[in-house]
């Protein structure tokens, strides 16, 4: 198209030389790339220039709006209740979406949770739920709306129509070393969430070894950027910076995490999973104007469990069916008696991935029963020779590489509980 207002080289060199892209440059390049007019190698060069030189708030806002404009927008205004959604930047043992969506729905707020699959050491919510016999991730928009009205919560795959520019750009960033660019992470997440049409949004931005953001300053920058994008787009948005140096709960793996989520909904489960679920539920309810409702009550009285069962059944799943169990297990004993001082989230996530719970490429299958269970959390006492970790897989030849990932992943301190083993789960709130 010779009469185009811009060309790719001009846009690339503007950003390469540290300039700010104009609104029309942003609109043009995102649209032209989505249509295939700007080549992958040109968008790669632009992505690298953005990684190295950054983007201002107005630029990121315009980039996000251009990605939203590449596809459809959903509208939940016809529902009889307000909507709230949560997005986590991903971690190890992060099964929070599973108990959280039905809990918030049980408190009178609809939760349209469009989720993804796992890649690498962080698990995907859809992979976890697919370990429930019969459950399906793909719903049409009409089915989704009906389920939100009748049940109050839906966890499903995002359709191809939402921000198709993001899907294309995400795949490119993955293979060009530009995943870490904060403007591109923020606009990727927020373009989908704003297009999804939710009224309020809570972001769970993980910090630590098992998280995408390893240090607090970078996590804070990402959280602030996303909160700004949401607020500017008229979505009530807050972010919590939460700890991911230690894995969440006591399990990492698909069916293993579903079982733990059901324990939480039954009023039990690990204290950290319950604490984070309730903290995020309170933020979602406040964002939707229901701050007077205490979600802890809905966990205690069984309403959240009732909603979970209805949500699973509505998507073809059998909430009473036994979950898949791996055919082989391997126990890692505690090397000494004392207090577990450290358990590294990245190592545990990598071990679960190598056991078959995750995938290296998008098209890889996952094992429903594979994963890692840890029998103590930092601060707990352990006894030499007693089980510290149990590895689960259908393919025992995977044990060796999983054990290699766990070398140096935990420390046992002599004596009873030492100071500093337990860190705060929620570091700070932004927004």
| Same-domain status, 204 and 283 | yes
| Same-domain status, 162 and 38 | no
Q: What are 340's strand-pairing partners?
A: 412
| Same-domain status, 149 and 271 | yes
| Same-domain status, 48 and 117 | no
| Same-domain status, 25 and 152 | no
Q: How many helices (H) and strands (E) does the chain have?
A: 16, 13
pLDDT tens digits, 112-162: 999 888 767 777 899 999 999 999 999 999 999 999 999 999 999 988 888
| Same-domain status, 129 and 259 | yes
Is 224 among the residues known to form the active site? no
pLDDT tens digits, 203-227: 999 999 999 899 999 999 999 999 9
Residues 6+ apart with CB under 8 A from 291: 282, 285
* Token representation of residue 223: 């959280």
How confident is the chain (431 residues) per 10-residue block, as mean pLDDT? 81 98 97 96 97 96 96 94 95 96 98 84 88 96 95 92 89 88 95 94 96 94 97 96 96 97 96 97 97 95 97 98 98 97 96 92 87 97 97 98 98 73 85 92
**Which CATH number do you get for residue 35?**
1.20.970.10
pLDDT tens digits, 40-69: 999 999 999 999 999 999 999 999 999 999
| Same-domain status, 142 and 289 | yes
Residues 6+ apart with CB under 8 A from 142: none
Among 279, 314, 349, the domain boundary falls at 314
Inter-residue contact 130 to 176 (CB < 8 Å): no
| Same-domain status, 301 and 356 | no
Cα separation of the two ends of the chain: 43
How big is the CA angle at 209 (ends 205 and 213), to the nearest 5 degrees? 35
Is 115 among the residues known to form the active site? no
- Output DSSP code: residue 396: G
Catalytic annotation, pick one of 117, 173, 309, 398: 173
Query: Is residue 24, in this structure, part of any structural domain at all?
Result: yes
Is 6 among the residues known to form the active site? no
Q: Give the chain's domain count.
A: 3
Catalytic annotation, pick one of 6, 81, 86, 87: 87
Among 314, 342, 366, the domain boundary falls at 314
Catalytic annotation, pick one of 85, 127, 166, 344: 166
Position of tokens 């928009």? 141
Residues 6+ apart with CB under 8 A from 252: 92, 93, 123, 348, 349, 351, 352, 357, 371, 372
Inter-residue contact 382 to 412 (CB < 8 Å): yes
Catalytic annotation, pick one of 192, 354, 377, 392: 192
Is 131 among the residues known to form the active site? no
| Same-domain status, 363 and 338 | yes
| Same-domain status, 303 and 385 | no
Residues 6+ apart with CB under 8 A from 313: 319
Range of the domain at 168: 84-314
pTM: predicted TM-score of the whole model, two decimal places: 0.94
Question: CA–CA distance from 200 to each of 58, 234, 295 (Å)?
Answer: 21, 9, 17
| Same-domain status, 236 and 368 | no
φ, ψ of residue 94 in degrees (nearest 5)? -85, 80
Strands 338-343 and 381-382: antiparallel
Cα 323 to chain centroid, rounded = 22
Is 192 among the residues known to form the active site? yes
Query: Is residue 418, in this structure, part of any structural domain at all?
Result: no
Strands 153-157 and 251-253: unpaired
Measured distance CA(357)–CA(332) in Å, rounded: 18
Sheet order of strands, 236-243 included: 84-88, 200-207, 236-243, 426-430
Strands 328-333 and 387-393: antiparallel
Measured distance CA(316)–CA(319) in Å, rounded: 9
Query: Is residue 71, in this structure, part of any structural domain at all?
Result: no
How many Cβ atoms sit within 10 Å of the Cβ of residue 394?
16
């Amino acid at each position: 198209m010779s009469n185009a207002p811009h060309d790719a080289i001009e846009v690339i060199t503007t950003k390469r030389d540290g300039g700010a892209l104009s609104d029309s440059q942003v609109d043009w390049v995102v649209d032209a790339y989505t249509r295939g007019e700007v080549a992958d190698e040109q968008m790669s060069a632009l992505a690298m220039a953005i990684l190295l030189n950054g983007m201002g708030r107005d630029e990121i806002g315009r980039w996000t709006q251009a990605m939203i404009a590449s596809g459809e927008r959903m509208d939940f205004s016809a529902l009889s209740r307000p909507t709230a959604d949560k997005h986590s930047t991903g971690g190890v043992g992060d099964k929070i979406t599973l108990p959280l969506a039905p809990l918030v729905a049980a408190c009178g707020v609809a939760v349209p949770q469009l989720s993804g699959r796992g890649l690498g050491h962080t698990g995907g919510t859809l992979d976890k739920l697919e370990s429930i016999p019969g459950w399906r991730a793909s719903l049409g928009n009409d089915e989704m709306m009906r389920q939100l009205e009748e049940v109050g919560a839906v966890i499903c795959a995002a359709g191809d129509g939402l921000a198709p520019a993001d899907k294309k750009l995400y795949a490119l960033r993955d293979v060009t070393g530009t995943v870490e660019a904060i403007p591109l992470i923020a606009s990727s997440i927020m373009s989908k969430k704003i297009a999804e049409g939710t009224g309020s949004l809570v972001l769970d931005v993980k910090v630590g070894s098992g998280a995408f953001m390893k240090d607090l300053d970078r996590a804070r920058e990402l959280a602030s950027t996303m909160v700004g994008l949401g607020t500017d787009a008229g979505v009530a948005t807050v972010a919590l910076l939460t700890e991911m140096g230690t894995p969440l709960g006591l399990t990492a793996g698909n069916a293993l995490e579903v079982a733990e989520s059901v324990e939480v909904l039954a009023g039990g489960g690990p204290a950290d999973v319950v604490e984070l679920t309730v903290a995020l539920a309170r933020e979602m309810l406040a964002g939707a104007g229901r701050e007077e409702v205490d979600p802890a009550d809905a966990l205690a009285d069984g309403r959240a469990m009732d909603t979970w069962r209805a949500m699973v059944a509505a998507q073809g799943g059998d909430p009473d069916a036994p979950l898949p169990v791996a055919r082989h297990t391997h126990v890692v004993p505690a090397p000494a008696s004392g207090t577990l001082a450290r358990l590294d989230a990245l190592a545990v996530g990598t071990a679960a991935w190598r056991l078959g719970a995750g995938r290296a490429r998008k098209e890889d299958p996952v094992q429903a029963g594979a994963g890692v269970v840890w029998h103590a959390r930092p601060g707990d006492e352990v006894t030499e020779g007693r089980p510290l970790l149990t590895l689960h897989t259908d393919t025992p030849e995977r044990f060796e590489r999983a054990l290699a990932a766990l070398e140096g992943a935990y420390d046992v301190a002599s004596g009873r509980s030492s100071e500093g083993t337990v860190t705060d789960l929620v570091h700070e709130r932004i927004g």
